[in-house]
Amino acid sequence: MLENDKILLRAPELNDLDVLFRWENDQSIWHLSQTLTPFSRFDLEQFILNNNRDIYIEKQFRFMIASKVDQSLVGCIDLFDFDPHNARLGIGILVDKKYRKEGWASSALDLLIDYCFQYLKVHQVYCNILSSNIISMQLFKRKHFAEIGVKKEWVFLEGKYHDEVLLQLIRKN
């Protein structure tokens, strides 16, 4: 478990199933994970049961973002495409709509960047953000991620194609 004065980042637990079911089946955010079909409770239960495996084997890991005050779940932050040979991995964040603009993502990202650089010893982390997602772009740029490329017309959403921006943070030695 990772923590600071505001949040806990922890592995998913079976009692998180209802909130994960709601988040994963919210069609308005399926484009973030390229989801095309709903998840069953069984699928999510299996994900929770298997999520605690070694990131070196699975190449991904999900942390639940919980309030340190009352343990309420405010979102999740994922590590994906872990490549230990090239020392890099991707980061994705989801904050529940009712908790947005309260600093949860920023706090979680601080903890996760430190974890990635100090514990996993990666050289770089990256993220992919729709160019229209101004709030997420600002968040990652505040954390010193640099915009390194644009994938033109990359995501088909709401009847049209959208650009996706690739941002990267390289560890300072």
Cα separation, 108 vs 94, whole angstroms: 10
The DSSP annotation for 121-173 comes to --SEEEEEEETT-HHHHHHHHHTTPEEEEEEEEEEEETTEEEEEEEEEEEPP-
The domain containing residue 36 runs over which residues? 2-123
The predicted model gives 63-90 an average pLDDT of: 94
Confidence of residue 33 (pLDDT cuts 50, 70, 90): low
- pLDDT-derived band at 54 (thresholds 50, 70, 90) equals confident
140 falls within a domain:
no
CATH number at residue 118: 3.40.630.30
Number of domains comprising the chain:
1
How confident is residue 47, by pLDDT bands cut at 50, 70 and 90? confident
Nearest 5°: phi and psi at 25? -105, 15
- Confidence tier at 136 by pLDDT (50, 70, 90): very high
Whether 53 maps to a domain, the answer reads yes
Please check the confidence at residue 35 and state whether its pLDDT lies above 70.
no
In a domain, 147, yes or no: no
Tell whether 138 is covered by a domain.
no
Residues 6+ apart with CB under 8 A from 118: none
Q: Is residue 33 part of a domain?
A: yes
Q: Copy the structure tokens of residue 41.
A: 């409770």
User: Residue 87 above 80 pLDDT?
Assistant: yes
